[in-house]
Amino acid sequence: MGNLISICDIKDDVQDILDLAIKIKAGEVEKSPLEGKTLAMIFQKSSTRTRVSFDVGMYQLGGRAIFLSSNDLQMGRGEPIYDTAKVLSRFVDGIMIRAVEHCDVVELAQHSDVPVISGLTNVEHPCQALADVLTIKEHFGTFENKKICFVGDGNNVCNSLLLISPLLGMDMSIACPKGYEPNEHVLRIANEYAKEMNTKITVSDDLNVALDNVDVVYTDVWVSMGDEAEELQRKAALSPYQVDSDLMNLANEGAIFMHCLPAVRDQEVTTAVIDGPNSVVFDQAENRLHAQKAILYYFLKDE
């Protein structure tokens, strides 16, 4: 049994899961491989893509999913995570949790007797990163000699992309203002992966440096859930990093634009870019379903 809390948990399995997602999307996997399986879905934060993709994914794989909000669980009223993990493990075959604190998901996984999958924490978003690289592979056909640039706040999505990109042989740069760099611990591990794979990671507040020879331009909201108290200072610091047509022109010809959604149009990205010919955001959103199905198959299917 394994868990997916971080991309680090699947360091040696990323390519296998990605290949599986491609096969699932092409209809090349047996019907109903998770028949009789049940997934508990715990949501401490609201969601569109994560909730629907996991719910539909379990259904299409022959299993079922149970939605549990904080109001549905005694954990929301103070029951220890240890007790919740032990009880749910007696009922279900896997747990997906979208949590506020990364440490809560780590603790849940430590005490669970079934696989735990992170649907997002304040540190990482591994499921999103898998959907993202699936989209990149579909568009370019390869990861070789490709470079991705994350523009804006070095958040949880950025952290997972930092870890997965070098594992697949891609260079990555981050364009962010000082004080908005990615997690130091994650960056240190990502640099170790990059050294192993002979790839390069760059963090810079200079857009020209970060966007040099870039094939994928990626951004996310400036004010994530839980950061609302910092909204004004975040907008002021990040406004020079809005992805507009001029910024896209700094990247390679034919570069694609990505966003994990939801987007605040004309804030972190202009409407002209997100709806433009280089945008693959809705392909990317669709691939959440196929990536999620691969994750569910990989972690829940009996050998």
In this prediction, residue 225 has a pLDDT band, given cuts at 50, 70 and 90, of confident
Q: Is 128 a catalytic residue?
A: yes
Q: Minimal CA–CA distance to 50: which of 109, 108, 120?
A: 120
Catalytic residue among 102, 176, 220, 290: 220
Quote the pLDDT of residue 77: 66
Q: Is 125 a catalytic residue?
A: yes
Catalytic residue among 49, 234, 259, 288: 288
Catalytic residue among 93, 127, 260, 290: 260
Instruction: Point out the least confidently predicted range of 134-148, 168-182, 218-232, 276-290.
Output: 218-232
Say whether pLDDT at 74 is over 80.
Answer: no
- Per residue in 267-288, pLDDT tens? 999 999 999 999 999 999 999 9
Residue 1 located in a structural domain: no
* Residues 254 and 292 placed together within one structural domain of the fold: no
Q: Which domain holds residue 98?
A: 7-125+287-300
* Residues 225 and 273 placed together within one structural domain of the fold: yes
CATH number for the domain harbouring residue 139: 3.40.50.1370
- Residue 144: CA atoms inside 13 Å, Cβ hemisphere, count? 2
Residue 62 located in a structural domain: yes
- State the DSSP string of the chain: ---BSSGGGGTTTHHHHHHHHHHHHTT-S-S-TTTT-EEEEEESS--SHHHHHHHHHHHHTT-EEEEEETTTSGGGGT--HHHHHHHHHHH-SEEEEE-S-HHHHHHHHHH-SS-EEEEE-SS--HHHHHHHHHHHHHHHS--TT-EEEEES---HHHHHHHHHHHHTT-EEEEE--TT-PPPHHHHHHHHHHHHHHT--EEEES-HHHHTTT-SEEEE--SS-TT-GGGHHHHHHHHGGG-B-HHHHTTS-TT-EEEE-S---BTTTB-HHHHTSTTB-HHHHHHHHHHHHHHHHHHHHS--
Catalytic residue among 49, 93, 102, 128: 128
The CA distances from residue 298 to 6, 19, 43, 145, 205, in Å, are: 15, 11, 22, 28, 38
* Residues 108 and 132 placed together within one structural domain of the fold: no
> Distance between the two ends of the chain, CA-based, in angstroms?
11
* Residues 57 and 166 placed together within one structural domain of the fold: no
Catalytic residue among 49, 125, 259, 290: 125
* Residues 181 and 114 placed together within one structural domain of the fold: no
Burial class (CB in 10 A: 0-12, 13-18, 19+), 151: buried
**High-pLDDT (> 90) share of the chain, %:** 91
* Residues 96 and 59 placed together within one structural domain of the fold: yes
> Mean pLDDT score of the chain, rounded to an integer?
96
* Residues 164 and 199 placed together within one structural domain of the fold: yes
Q: How many domains does the chain have?
A: 2
Catalytic residue among 44, 49, 93, 98: 98
* Residues 107 and 247 placed together within one structural domain of the fold: no
* Residues 83 and 146 placed together within one structural domain of the fold: no
